[in-house]
Structure 1
Amino acid sequence: MNGSRISRLNAATRAKMRPTSISNQSRYDQEKANPLNNDDICYLTATEALELYRKRELSPVELVEAQIRRAEMVEPTINAFTDTYFDEALQQAKAAEERYMRSDPRDLRPLDGIPLAVKDAQRVAGKRTTYGSLLFADNVDEHSDPIIDRLVAAGAIIHARTTTPEFCLSGTCETRMWGKTRNPFNTGYGPGGSSGGSAASLAAGTSVLATGTDIGGSIRIPASCCGVVGYKPPKGRNPDGPPANFDPYNHCGPLARSVADAALVQNIVSGPHPLDHNSLRERVRLADAVQPVNGLRVAWSMNLGYVQIATEVRRNTLAALDIFRELGCIVEEVDLRWSSDCDRAATAWYNAMHFGRQALWHAETRAALMTDYALAAAQSARTLAIDDIARSWETQHAMYQSFGPMMESHDIFICPTAAIPAPSADHNPLDQNFKIEGKKADPEYGWSLTHQFNMLFNSPVMSLPSGRAETAVPTGIQVVGRTFDDPTVFRAALAYEHAVGGWFGPEARPKC
Structure 2
Amino acid sequence: MTDDLAYMTGHAALKAFRSGDLNPIALMDATLARLSATEPQINAWTETWPENARRAAEAAAQRYAKGDARPLEGLPLAVKEEMRLAGTHRASGSLVFRDRVDDGTDVYIQRLIDAGAIPIGKTTVPEFTILAATHSRINGISRNPWNLERSPGGSSGGSGAALAAGATVLATGTDIGGSIRIPAACCGVTGFKPSYGRNPEIPPFNLDYYSHTGPMARSVADLALMQNVTSGQWEEDIASLRERIILSTDAPADLRGWRIGWSADFGVYEVEADVRSNMMRALEVFAGLGASVEEVDFRLPREAPRVMQDYLEHLAGAGVATALPNHRAEMTDYAIAFAEASLRSTPLMFYNANQMAAELYERFGPMMAKLDVLVCPTIGISAPPAEYSYVNDRLVFDGSERRMLQQEWCSTLLFNMFSRCPVLSVPSGHDRLGVPTGIQIVGRAYHDESPIAAGLAFEAAQPWLDRPENRPLQRL
TM-score range for the pair, normalised by the shorter chain length:
over 0.9
Match of 1:248 in 2: 209
Q: Gapped runs of 5+ residues in structure 1?
A: 1-36
CA distance in 1, matches of 2:60, 2:413: 39
Question: Secondary structure of the equivalent of 1:314?
Answer: helix
Match of 1:108 in 2: 69
CA distance in 2, matches of 1:137, 1:263: 34
The amino acid of 1:253's aligned partner reads: G
The amino acid of 2:110's aligned partner reads: D
CA distance in 2, matches of 1:460, 1:152: 24
1:80-479 aligned within 5 A: 80-101=44-65, 103-104=66-67, 107-291=68-252, 292-353=254-315, 355-431=316-392, 434=395, 436-437=397-398, 438=400, 442-479=404-441
CA contact (8 A) 1:434 1:443 kept: no
1:10-29 aligned within 5 A: none
Q: Using the TM superposition, give the Cα deviation of residue 384 of structure 1 relative to its aligned residue in structure 2, in angstroms.
A: 0.7
Question: Secondary structure of the equivalent of 1:450?
Answer: helix
Q: Using the TM superposition, give the Cα deviation of residue 474 of structure 1 relative to its aligned residue in structure 2, in angstroms.
A: 0.3
CA contact (8 A) 1:430 1:443 kept: no
Residue among 453, 466, 470 paired with 1:504: 466
- 1:223-248, CA deviations, whole angstroms, 9 ceiling, x for partnerless residues? 00000010000000001112221110
Percent pairwise identity = 43
CA distance in 2, matches of 1:352, 1:427: 22
Q: Using the TM superposition, give the Cα deviation of residue 265 of structure 1 relative to its aligned residue in structure 2, in angstroms.
A: 0.4
CA distance in 1, matches of 2:184, 2:360: 25
The structure-2 alpha-carbon separation of the partners of 1:262 and 1:321, relative to structure 1 and needing over 3 Å to count, comes to same
The amino acid of 2:273's aligned partner reads: T
Q: Gapped runs of 5+ residues in structure 2?
A: none
Question: Secondary structure of the equivalent of 2:381?
Answer: coil
CA contact (8 A) 1:421 1:469 kept: yes
CA distance in 2, matches of 1:342, 1:215: 16
TM-score, structure 2 as length reference? 0.97
CA contact (8 A) 1:119 1:164 kept: yes
CA distance in 2, matches of 1:426, 1:372: 12
Match of 1:26 in 2: none
Question: Secondary structure of the equivalent of 1:76?
Answer: coil
The amino acid of 1:94's aligned partner reads: E
CA contact (8 A) 1:293 1:491 kept: no
The structure-2 alpha-carbon separation of the partners of 1:504 and 1:342, relative to structure 1 and needing over 3 Å to count, comes to farther
Q: Using the TM superposition, give the Cα deviation of residue 359 of structure 1 relative to its aligned residue in structure 2, in angstroms.
A: 1.3
CA distance in 1, matches of 2:423, 2:37: 34
RMSD: 1.3
CA contact (8 A) 2:385 2:395 kept: no
Residue among 46, 66, 69 paired with 2:10: 46
CA contact (8 A) 2:428 2:436 kept: yes
Q: Using the TM superposition, give the Cα deviation of residue 439 of structure 1 relative to its aligned residue in structure 2, in angstroms.
A: 8.7
- 1:58-110, CA deviations, whole angstroms, 9 ceiling, x for partnerless residues? 22111111111111111111111111111111111111112222x12xx3101
- 1:135-194, CA deviations, whole angstroms, 9 ceiling, x for partnerless residues? 111111121111101000001110010011011110010000111111111111110000
The amino acid of 2:48's aligned partner reads: T
CA distance in 2, matches of 1:497, 1:81: 28
CA distance in 2, matches of 1:400, 1:166: 32
CA distance in 1, matches of 2:387, 2:282: 29
Question: Secondary structure of the equivalent of 2:41?
Answer: helix
CA contact (8 A) 2:108 2:230 kept: yes
CA distance in 1, matches of 2:377, 2:424: 11
Question: Secondary structure of the equivalent of 1:67?
Answer: helix
Question: Secondary structure of the equivalent of 2:275?
Answer: helix
CA contact (8 A) 1:431 1:443 kept: no
CA distance in 2, matches of 1:62, 1:399: 51
Q: Using the TM superposition, give the Cα deviation of residue 440 of structure 1 relative to its aligned residue in structure 2, in angstroms.
A: 5.5
Question: Secondary structure of the equivalent of 1:205?
Answer: coil
CA contact (8 A) 1:460 1:482 kept: yes
CA contact (8 A) 2:427 2:464 kept: no
CA distance in 2, matches of 1:147, 1:138: 23
TM-score, structure 1 as length reference? 0.90
The amino acid of 1:484's aligned partner reads: Y
Question: Secondary structure of the equivalent of 1:315?
Answer: helix
The amino acid of 1:259's aligned partner reads: V
Match of 1:495 in 2: 457
Q: Using the TM superposition, give the Cα deviation of residue 506 of structure 1 relative to its aligned residue in structure 2, in angstroms.
A: 2.0
Q: Does 1:67 align with 2:28?
A: no
Q: Using the TM superposition, give the Cα deviation of residue 432 of structure 1 relative to its aligned residue in structure 2, in angstroms.
A: 5.5
CA contact (8 A) 1:60 1:94 kept: yes
The amino acid of 1:53's aligned partner reads: F
